[in-house]
A and B are shown apart, each in its own frame.
Chain A
Amino acid sequence: MAGIGFQLKNLISNRSISAKLLAFGYSVVLSSGNWLISIVIIFVFSKIALVMGGNKKVVYDLNIYITNVVALALISSGFFQFEYTRFASDRIFEKKYNLIIPNYFGALFIVAIIGFISGIILGYYFFWDYNKLIFLLFAITVAISSCVFLSSALLTGLKSFRYILFSFMVSYLIAGISILYFKNNFILLVCSFYLSQNMLFLMLSYKIFKEYYSDSLFRFDFLKKPNKRILIFTGFIYYLGVWIDKYLFWFSEETSKKVIGNMASSPFYDIPITLAYISLLPGISALFLYTEAEFFEYYDLYYSAVRDFGTLEDLYYFANMLISAVRDLIFSVMRIQIIFDIIIILAQDKLFLKLLSIPKIYLPEIDIMIIAATVQLLFIVLFSIFSYFDLMKNLLKISIVFFLANFLFTYTSIKMGPYYYGYGLFFAGAISSLYAIYLLRRFLDEINYYTFVHSGKL
């Protein structure tokens, strides 16, 4: 029989609907927690070390040092955190498990080099004239920490969340205990932090090796997917946006104070923002919880309807449920965070002045920072929703807006003087969240169209 209609049936299988994105979305949601854990643990142990009679300056300097390492490592690994995790979750979906480890090595290799080079550059400025050993330790610690963040991004994608938490706890516990031990010797503290990061990296990579086998050592397949390369910039810009306000404060003459060598701190900003970020714990936890428990159920229902059985009516029905689930997710997380914020602000006298013995002068600043951090949480929620829907171009767009806004408004606030510190982050979060909500609405309004015709378009 003449005719090709026969072969049509072979081609119908190209329905690539985003079941595979789950791991990626999950990873983005959870990796927002990693640095929070680091900050919390170091903060708690510093307080304990101070209570136990540690040298106030040494402990405080170490805090600045660790924050600098973490910031630089997050930005350096940001290039591949999203891109590689996305690559890995695709391969897991295709059951090509043997590609995970060789590409993990490939990504580690690049991330370590980027981390080391940026560590050398910033470390040279900070410590070269002060102490060559600290300079070297700074560079290698940034390199190893970059590897840590890449590994934990992969593991979160694999839902090994408990193990990650456990690894972070153990290694930071060691770093924390060493504060108690070496509370007066800065070089030893820096060394022990480096060793704890090594241990963390070994623990995380052990888990990865245990999960997967490999038949080759290095591969760079993850660089070969042109349509995913956009995530390289997204990751970098996103983390740059998260840290740009801190760097501006550390590098502006008006606000910074040299601590060790040229490494500076900005007490008026650092202390409030640390406390504000710690206050995000309930919101971040709620984000994990609601994503997993409620949002995911409707997300899964909608996409399995698309894949397996849904009539057009079903698709509209489940799409509406999914849209309500998105709205509920945002509202629930923000509601919990705002209630918590109100409690903190009402109880601030007792909490900050008495319990944490923070000078009264910081209080107005802390209030603003708590609100700013809450707005940033909204941005994180939206960012993770975007990653669930694989809206890669939109992820880049909102990251750029957040970075630019944070840079611009924070710089302006520094120039305007101490009364305005913190408003920069607040406006950056608010504007980029509004923009993200606008984009999200555009997507959800026509979710069927974007799902079928061109999800890569947004």
Chain B
Amino acid sequence: MIDVLIIAEGTYPYVSGGVSTWIHQLITNMKDVKFGILFLGSRQEDYKNIKYKLPENLTYFKKIFIFDDYSFKKYRKSYSCKGNPEIFMSLFEENIKDYDNFLNPDFYKKNFPYECFLQNKNIYYFIENLYQKRGYNLHFSDFFWTIRNVLTPLWYIFNEIDDVFNEDIALVHSPSTGYAGLLGASIKQKMNIPFILTEHGIYTKERKIDIVQAKWIKEFPMFYNYYDLDPLKRVWTDFFTNLGKISYDKADKIVSLYEGARKIQISLGAKPEKTVIIPNGIDVNMLASLRKDSIPKRIAFLGRVVKIKDVKTLIKAFKILSLKAKDVECWIVGPEDEEPDYAKECRELVKNFELENKVIFKGFMNIKDLFPHVGLVTLTSISEGMPMVILESFAAGIPFVATDVGACRQLIEGGLNEEDIAIGPAGFVTKVGDASALAESYYKILYDEALYKTFQKNAIERVERFYTKENMINSYKHLYDELKESYGRYRLSA
């Protein structure tokens, strides 16, 4: 008996990070709910150690590796291909319509067994047709392997899934779209149980960034003009967008973390009535002890020193600020090893501005050691989801200045509902890349004690009212109960 089956794609319990922490929180805080984890990983050797202490109410754990070749090492000599390969075309078209086949495990076992998918002539010519239909002009081999590689996991998943269908599962919950979302949709369809989809980021959007950065999309300096690399990315995004659409269609509830994300989901095809916002929550009590009355004249930037965080704009803003306010310091807290060149450029910039004594690169720090020393925390990113650091600052009674990306405005100014807006702002939101606006915001907060206290009060009120861990847990608990009841299952909590 599994109350909630979570499909963790490349996350819990092997990889630590935002989504894994979230899953761990969910499980450890619902002691009376029996959880199951279905882990989708790439290859066995990529996951060595379990990073979390597995809670007792985690009663079912299954791993599927979608790029291992162990399970199909022995090709069967005889197999039959019953389906028409053209059916796969729809997965790469702009608007997927008829997709029920892709949710049916028998489709992968009977119509197109794995050997058939790999060896059948018609499957090969389907890939040629797809290439021609889209009028591509790229290295065919890259195209061929891309199509193969994005489709192959479907066989790995659906050939390993039988014993999951034999379990007694009350609800399936996927924290992402992608393959996990498709599998969630399939389990829902087959077992007739509720399916919740939570998106922590927008999969296809982040996938787009990932693809742009992917190293294997080789650079051909010589052929650069000849090659348009974009089509290959388009193949990917179309495919993953379609997987997303299938999971949106089948999900009973589509959860996002903030309003902006919900709007993107709706624009990608999610029905508005299915969408619901459940923000992440933090352990407020743990950070409440760090609150203080003094206002240290020190700004902290918390995050990796990478391009997407736009640290250079922060340094420029601080230069402008330092002309007006002589006693301010800035700590840049976060690792610099991810983009060493960029980190080096940032340090050079500090040197050129003659700010070496005031802008200090602190490396990684625990927030418990950091927060007592800072009066203001800031983010200057070009792109964000829902940064937890804003909530953590709020819990410690520290106002925040951020650029207008992701959920930042909603968190700082209040945007969850009328009640939230009524609390008032807990900091400032500026345009992306606007150094002087940032400098002005920093100055106003640090040198206007009345404003600081108001922001501090609002910050604490907002996080305690809306963004506690308990809130998040209760929202999910209600969601679970509500859906199970509508499917005729018993309630979880007594």
Report which A residues bind B (CB closer than 8 A).
Answer: 1-15, 17, 306-312, 314-315, 446, 448-449, 452-454, 457
Contact = CB atoms under 8 A, between A and B. Distances in A.
B406 interface: no
B132 A6 contact: no
Given A3-B207, A452-B124, A9 B215 contact: yes
- Most chain B CB within 10 A, of A14, A15, A453, is at A453
A427 B42 CA distance: 56
A315 B138 CA distance: 12
Contacts of B200: 1-2
A307 B218 CA distance: 13
A4 B146 contact: no
B216 interface: yes
B142 interface: yes
B46 interface: yes
B19 interface: yes
B141 A15 contact: yes
B348 interface: no
B441 interface: no
Nearest to B206: A1
A311 B150 CA distance: 20
Contacts of A446: 121
Given A9-B215, A11-B149, A4 B141 contact: no
B54 to A, nearest CB: 19
B429 to A, nearest CB: 24
B165 interface: no
Given A2-B200, A9-B214, A453 B118 contact: yes
Contact of B139 (A3, A309, A449): A309
8 contacts: A1-B17, A2-B11, A2-B200, A5-B210, A12-B146, A309-B139, A311-B139, A452-B141
Given A7-B46, A9-B215, A11-B67, A453 B119 contact: yes
Interface stretch (B174-182, B392-400, B462-470): B174-182
Contact of B10 (A4, A9, A10, A312): A4
Interface string B288-309: 0000000000000000000000
A306 B119 CA distance: 18
B84 interface: no
Contacts of B145: 12, 14-15
Given A9-B214, A309-B139, A453-B119, A4 B144 contact: no
B124 A453 contact: yes
Nearest to A17: B141
A289 to B, nearest CB: 32
Given A2-B8, A454-B118, 15 more contacts: A1-B210, A3-B207, A4-B9, A4-B42, A5-B150, A5-B207, A7-B42, A8-B146, A9-B214, A9-B215, A11-B149, A306-B140, A311-B136, A311-B138, A448-B124
Contacts of A452: 124, 141, 144
B375 interface: no
Nearest to B179: A4
B236 interface: yes
B131 interface: yes
Interface residues of B, number: 55
Interface in B143-167: 144-146, 149-150, 153
A3 B10 contact: yes
Contacts of B10: 2-4, 6-7
B201 interface: yes
B137 interface: yes
Contact of A2 (B132, B144, B176, B217): B176
A307 B139 CA distance: 9
Given A306-B141, A453-B124, A2 B119 contact: no
B141 A307 contact: yes
Contacts of A312: 128, 131-132, 136, 140
Given A3-B176, A12-B145, A309-B223, A457 B140 contact: no
- Most chain A CB within 10 A, of B140, B207, B217, is at B140
B125 interface: yes
A449 B201 CA distance: 39
A406 B406 CA distance: 78
Nearest to B118: A453
Nearest to A2: B176
B139 A8 contact: no
Contacts of A17: 141
A8 B8 contact: no
- Most chain B CB within 10 A, of A5, A12, A17, is at A5
A374 B137 CA distance: 46
Contact of A8 (B41, B144, B150): B150
Contacts of B60: none
A446 B128 CA distance: 12
A14 to B, nearest CB: 8
A5 B175 CA distance: 15
B42 A2 contact: no
Contacts of B223: 309
A402 B457 CA distance: 93
B119 A310 contact: no
B43 interface: yes
Contacts of B216: 9-10, 12-13
Contacts of A10: 42, 216
Contacts of A448: 124, 128
A231 B139 CA distance: 33
B102 interface: no
Closest CB pairs A-B (n = 3): A7-B42, A9-B216, A2-B176
A311 B43 CA distance: 30
B203 interface: yes
B78 to A, nearest CB: 14
B131 A2 contact: no
Contacts of A7: 10, 42-43, 46, 67
Contacts of A457: 119
Contacts of B26: none
A4 B8 CA distance: 10
A280 B410 CA distance: 87
Interface string B46-88: 1000000000000000000011000000000000000000000
A17 B217 CA distance: 19
A357 B215 CA distance: 73
- Most chain A CB within 10 A, of B41, B149, B217, B236, is at B149
Contacts of B330: none
Nearest to B46: A7
B40 interface: yes
- Most chain A CB within 10 A, of B42, B125, B211, is at B42
